[in-house]
């Protein structure tokens, strides 16, 4: 039975489909071209970091080699590292809140990947 007929036969009070708005696909916004750092730029960057601060150099090498975000690396603890399996389990991220001078641990999953 169609909805119009059901209204005519007084099986339903109104045609609820009349209020439905079918949206057309949105026009895709202009895509921004993503620029990636190349090997030469990485080498220059790491060389400068090594001259400036060896700790920074080690930190950035770790980020580049693992693909981790800085907050994920900052929250990393030894129990999350399995050297025999060559695996790192990322379970939290570290965010710094300057207004409270506090370190906040949270879920590493970004909104876009959720």
Whole-model pTM: value is 0.57
Check residue 105 and give its pLDDT: 79
Q: Which residues of 38-55 are buried (b: 16+ CB within 10 A; e: fewer)?
A: eeeeeeeebeebeeeeee
Check residue 27 and give its pLDDT: 63
The pLDDT tens digits along the chain (114 residues) read 688 888 888 888 888 888 788 777 766 667 778 888 999 999 999 999 999 999 999 999 999 999 999 999 999 999 999 999 999 999 999 887 777 776 687 777 654 554
Kindly report the backbone phi and psi dihedral angles of residue 88, in degrees, each rounded to the nearest multiple of 5, phi listed first.
Answer: -120, 130
How far is 101 from 5, CA to CA, in rounded Å? 67
Half-sphere exposure of 20 (CA within 13 A, CB side): 7
Angle in degrees, CA 75, 79, 80, rounded to 5: 55
């Amino acid at each position: 039975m169609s909805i119009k007929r059901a209204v005519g036969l007084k099986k339903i009070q109104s045609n609820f489909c009349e209020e439905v708005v079918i949206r057309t696909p949105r026009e895709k916004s202009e895509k921004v071209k993503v620029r990636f750092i190349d090997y030469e730029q990485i080498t220059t960057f790491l060389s400068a970091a090594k001259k400036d601060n060896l700790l920074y150099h080690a930190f950035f090498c770790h980020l580049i080699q693992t693909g981790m975000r800085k907050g994920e690396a900052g929250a990393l603890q030894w129990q999350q590292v399995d050297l025999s399996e060559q695996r790192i389990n990322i379970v939290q991220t570290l965010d710094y809140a300057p207004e409270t001078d506090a370190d906040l641990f949270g879920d590493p999953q970004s909104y876009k990947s959720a």
